């Protein structure tokens, strides 16, 4: 199972101006650094929660259908299922009918049931499910997630001299886990 981002988000859920206000920075000397810290904080949040913060496209590649009926899409919230492709032995994608799908778009991770499941003839990545996920615009992102990004980016900024940008995130600030706890995936 491989998840590929096909359409990156057009913006981040937290703006440079919001982070600068949070940090009480008035100059533009470190804008590039601050923007990179926002990206790192967003990527970390998405990795630990499975949430797609901003609207974007994904492709889930499967070798075969799962044994059970439910396919976990690895991101939430899912807005639409855009296509299901099943590859034949020649590597040609066959578009599947999207009627009759059952989607639990807000589950963590989102879940999909496909009633018609033709067998793929391609042994690796024989099935692709293309979908759109994310909350929408930055104003649609839940406030606790935006706050977590601000707190994390500020923490990264505070330790910018001790840890290089490519080694971030080096640590998690106090309170961060409580902010994201309702959004984290839990497994038994």
Is residue 188's pLDDT more than 60? no
* Mean pLDDT over each residue of the chain, to the nearest integer: 91
Nearest to 123 by CA among 95, 87, 83: 87
pLDDT value of position 136:
86
123: confidence class by pLDDT, cuts 50, 70, 90 = confident
Average pLDDT score over residue span 7-28: 95
Kindly report each contact of residues 138-144 with a partner whose C-beta sits within 8 Å and lies 24 or more positions away, as own/partner: 138/11, 138/12, 138/13, 138/14, 138/15, 138/54, 141/13, 141/53, 141/54, 142/183, 144/179, 144/180, 144/182, 144/183
pLDDT value of position 164:
65
Q: Over pLDDT 90: what percentage of the chain?
A: 73
pLDDT in tens, 86-119: 999 888 999 999 998 999 998 888 999 998 899 9
pLDDT value of position 46:
94
Task: Give the span between the Cα atoms of 103 and 136, in whole angstroms.
Answer: 18
- What pTM, to 2 d.p., does this model score? 0.86
């Amino acid at each position: 199972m491989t998840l590929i981002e096909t359409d990156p988000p057009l913006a981040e859920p937290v703006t440079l101006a919001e982070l600068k206000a949070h940090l009480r920075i008035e100059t533009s000397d470190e804008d590039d650094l601050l923007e990179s810290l926002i990206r790192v904080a967003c990527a970390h949040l998405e990795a630990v929660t499975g949430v797609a913060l901003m609207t974007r496209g994904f492709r889930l590649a499967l070798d075969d259908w799962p044994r059970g009926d439910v396919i976990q899409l690895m991101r939430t919230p899912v807005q639409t299922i855009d296509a299901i492709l099943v590859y034949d032995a020649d590597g040609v994608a066959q578009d599947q009918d999207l009627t009759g799908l059952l989607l639990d778009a807000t589950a963590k991770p989102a879940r999909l049931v496909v009633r018609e499941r033709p067998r793929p003839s391609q042994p690796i990545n024989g099935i692709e499910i293309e979908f759109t996920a994310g909350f929408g615009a930055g104003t649609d992102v839940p406030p606790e997630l935006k706050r977590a990004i601000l707190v994390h980016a500020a923490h990264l900024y505070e330790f910018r001299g001790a840890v290089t940008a490519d080694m971030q995130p080096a640590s998690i600030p106090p309170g961060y886990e409580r902010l994201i706890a309702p959004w984290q995936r839990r497994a038994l």
